[in-house]
Amino acid sequence: MLPTVSLLLAFTFLVSIAGLFVLIWSISSGQLSMGPEAPKVIFDKGELGHPEDPAGSQAQLASLESALQGSQRYPHARGLGQPEDIEERAELDRVARQPVLYLTLSSLLWLIVGSVAGLIVSIKFHAPDWLVDSAAWGFGRLRPVHLNAVIYGWISMVGMGVSLWLSSRILKTPLRGARWAVWGTHLWNVGVLVGIVSLLLGYSTGVEWLEFPTFVDGLFVIAGAMIGIPILKTIQDRKVHHLYVSIWYIGAAFVWFPVLFLVANIPGLHIGVQHAIINWWFAHNVLGLWLTPLGLAAAYYFIPKILGKPIHSYQLSLLGFWGLALFYSQVGLHHLIGGPVPTWLVTLSIVSSVMMVVPVISVAVNHHMTMIGHFRALRHSPTLAFVVTGAMMYTLVSVQGSLQSLRSINTVTHFTHATVAHAHLGVYGFVSFIMFGSLYFILPRLTRWEWPFPRLIQAHYGLALSGILVYFVFLSIGGVLQGLKMLDASAPFQDSVLVTHPYLIARSVGGALMTLGHIIFAYHVLVLVKRSGPMRDRPRFAYRPQPQQRGAGA
């Protein structure tokens, strides 16, 4: 035990020193000197002042442009869509196509598996006699199947795919070593598949958020590193000197995730209460230092990109990044408020949870100030609608999180459905919405085809939004009522169960709407990837190959 602890301490020391060197390097190489050009690195010549959304039709784009006219800070520049820039970007997309499409299609498969498992689990809450013939369909097995399929299958995979594409686009450099990512994706898929089958067969570690067999976690570390290699190599060989804030988030997430996974999985080291502490340190860091940075990286790219104007304050965006790095790593223990763990440790996590207001508000103010005066644009840009809704949900879920980590509120909400409502507002309302929006932008570029059925995009947005609102609102009310009943010493425990019944039915309705939205989305993606369906009109900046190149499958 002692050598392992010493090794961990030495490892922590080395990681901190490495972090310090990164900070010193970033200051000395001018990465933190935020001149007015820094937020503009995501634009090519002539793009400032022009909105862009490959998911919208020409008519939508015209409406988007007129919705933004007059309120843009940038006069419409000449030379929109320079052919050489468009060709260069087509080349970036050609290199990124295979790993990004592979990750995306895999993530959609796990999204459907996870959603169906979630729906079955949800129905079992109010119809417990349903599907009881086989142990594989029992709550105890299907719940972790749901959680692991959506967290490691859906969001992690789509997040990595979007990050690969963003890195290449923002750094204006073809992905270096894209094949590593393809092999990494094979391995990651094997991990999720083996993990889910193991859970269905009844093999689980029993550790929340780490239920897959331990060797699967080892696979994730190797696969994640393989998918991260192209990002790090592309950063190294980049054509753009300045590292835009999205790259900070992506680069850091790809360093944090393997560290978290390794530390949480060292066999035999964490025992008893210590294990619970490490478990929740890990679980909230998967959210805070893995999924959140991937979501914010995408939001920081797509919002300004679609509007055709840089982010409101670049200083604020970096404050948000460093604030997240400083405070998020210590919030995990708010999951154990009232548990048999040292009080100072829990108090420290509550303080950090409240301090999270600093990075959260800086992101919220920045996005809001960038959007201000442009909210009409949401009606005309499918990507923007998803991404901005996701960004708003980030503020909402985080402020809610800071409040529910206070002991007085946590006493009511802990062990209730209100926590599950909060969880879905975060992982679904925030991260998944931003990922949906990102894919609406990226996939037409990668496939060189348009979304064939714009109405399906509207249907997806409507179903996802109404689904999560029903889910969140009703389950939150049910959860609070449940908590109050549990605190009422004069009421039998059974009352706290019965009071939730109508709200649990409402959750199933919300979840069914979300699941239907996912099926529609997956179908639409398949049609797009097969390049079938009607070709309506070319989106702006679409790559038009020269006649002699047409045979090359463009």
Does position 198 interact with ligand HEM (CB under 6 A)? The reply is no
How far is it, in rounded angstroms, from Cα 371 to Cα 378?
Answer: 10
Compute the CA torsion angle 424, 454, 442, 73 (nearest 10 deg). -90
Query: Where would I find the H helices in 425-500?
Result: 433-447, 454-487, 493-498
Contact region for ligand HEM (CB under 6 A) — 126-134, 157-165, 218-226, 508-516? 508-516
State yes or no: residue 60 binds ligand HEM (CB under 6 A): no
Size of the site for ligand HEM (CB under 6 A): 47
Residues 61-100 that bind ligand HEM (CB under 6 A): none
- The contact pattern for ligand HEM, residues 202-221, with x = CB under 6 A and - = no contact, is ------x-------------
The CB-of-65 to ligand HEM minimum distance in angstroms stands at 33
Dihedral in degrees, nearest 10, Cα atoms 7, 13, 19, 20: -160
**Whole-angstrom Cα distance, residue 147 to residue 145?**
6
Residue with nearest beta carbon to ligand HEM: 511
Burial (Cβ within 10 Å: 0-12, 13-18, ≥19) of residue 35: exposed
Which window, 40-48, 264-272, 364-372, 511-519, contacts ligand HEM (CB under 6 A)?
A: 511-519
385-424 footprint of ligand HEM as x/- string (CB under 6 A)? ------------xx--xx-xx----x--xx----xx-xxx
- Pick 367 or 507: Cβ nearer ligand HEM: 507
Tokens 């959860």 belong to 479
Closer to ligand HEM at the Cβ: 118 or 230?
118
Site for ligand HEM in 321-340 (CB under 6 A): 331, 334-335
Residue 150, CA distances (Å) to 96, 117, 424 in order: 24, 10, 11
Q: Judged by CB, which is closer to ligand HEM: 80, or 287?
A: 287
Asked if residue 279 binds ligand HEM (CB under 6 A), the reply is no
Distances in whole angstroms, Cα of residue 501 to Cα of each of 116, 138, 411, 419: 21, 19, 21, 16
The two structure tokens encoding residue 167: 């890195």
Cβ-based nearer residue to ligand HEM, 92 or 291: 291
- Name which of 500, 435, 503, 443 is nearest 464 in CA terms: 435
Map residues 157-196 to x or -, x wherever contact with ligand HEM holds by CB under 6 A: ----------------------------------------
The residue (of 20 and 487) whose beta carbon lies closer to ligand HEM is 487
Give the N- to C-terminal CA distance of the chain in Å, as an integer. 58
**From 146-154, 182-190, 221-229, 259-267, span contacting ligand HEM (CB under 6 A):** 146-154
Shortest spacing between CB 311 and ligand HEM, in angstroms:
20
Stretch touching ligand HEM by CB under 6 A, among 43-51, 116-124, 187-195, 362-370: 116-124
Tell the smallest beta-carbon distance from residue 126 to ligand HEM (Å): 10
Instruction: Give the residue with the Cβ less far from ligand HEM, 48 or 356.
Output: 356
C-beta of 169 vs 485, nearer to ligand HEM: 485
Nearest alpha carbon to residue 482 among 438, 401, 425, 421: 421
Name every residue whose Cβ is closer than 8 Å to that of residue 99 and which is 6 or more positions away in sequence: 161, 164, 175, 178, 181, 182, 185, 227, 230
Q: Which residues contact 73 (CB under 8 A, 6 or more apart)?
A: 309
Q: d(Cα 354, Cα 400) in Å, to the nearest integer?
A: 10
Range 513-532, binding ligand HEM (CB under 6 A)? 514-515
265 is a site residue for ligand HEM (CB under 6 A): no
Alpha-carbon Rg for the chain in angstroms: 23
How is residue 126 written in tokens?
A: 């109010």
Question: Smaller CB distance to ligand HEM: residue 74 or 415?
Answer: 415
* Residue 320 or 382 with smaller CB distance to ligand HEM: 320
Of positions 48, 356, 364, 506, contacts ligand HEM by CB under 6 A: 356
Using the rule CB under 6 A, is 142 a contact of ligand HEM? Answer: no
- Cβ of residue 498: shortest distance to ligand HEM, in angstroms? 16
Least distance in Å: CB of 208 to ligand HEM? Answer: 6
* Binding status of residue 430 toward ligand HEM by CB under 6 A: yes
Rounded Cα distance between 166 and 350, Å, is 34
What is the C-alpha to C-alpha distance for residues 456 and 524, in angstroms, rounded to an integer?
Answer: 7
Nearer to ligand HEM, 291 or 465 (CB): 291
Nearer to ligand HEM, 301 or 428 (CB): 428
Residue at token pair 């944090």 = 256
Beta strands in 176-229 (DSSP E): none
Could you give the dihedral angle defined by the CA atoms of residues 229, 234, 235 and 238, in that order, rounded to the nearest 10 degrees? 170
Read off φ and ψ for residue 179, nearest 5 degrees.
Answer: -65, -30
Q: How far is the CB of 367 from ligand HEM (least distance, A)?
A: 14
φ/ψ region of 456 (left if φ > 0, alpha if ψ in -120 to 50, else beta) reads alpha
Distance CA 478, CA 511 (A): 16
Under rule CB under 6 A, residue 349 binds ligand HEM: no
Give the residues lining the site for ligand HEM (CB under 6 A). Answer: 111, 115, 118-119, 121-122, 143, 146-147, 150, 154-155, 208, 287, 291-292, 331, 334-335, 353, 356, 360, 397-398, 401-402, 404-405, 410, 413-414, 419-420, 422-424, 426-428, 430-432, 507-508, 511, 514-515
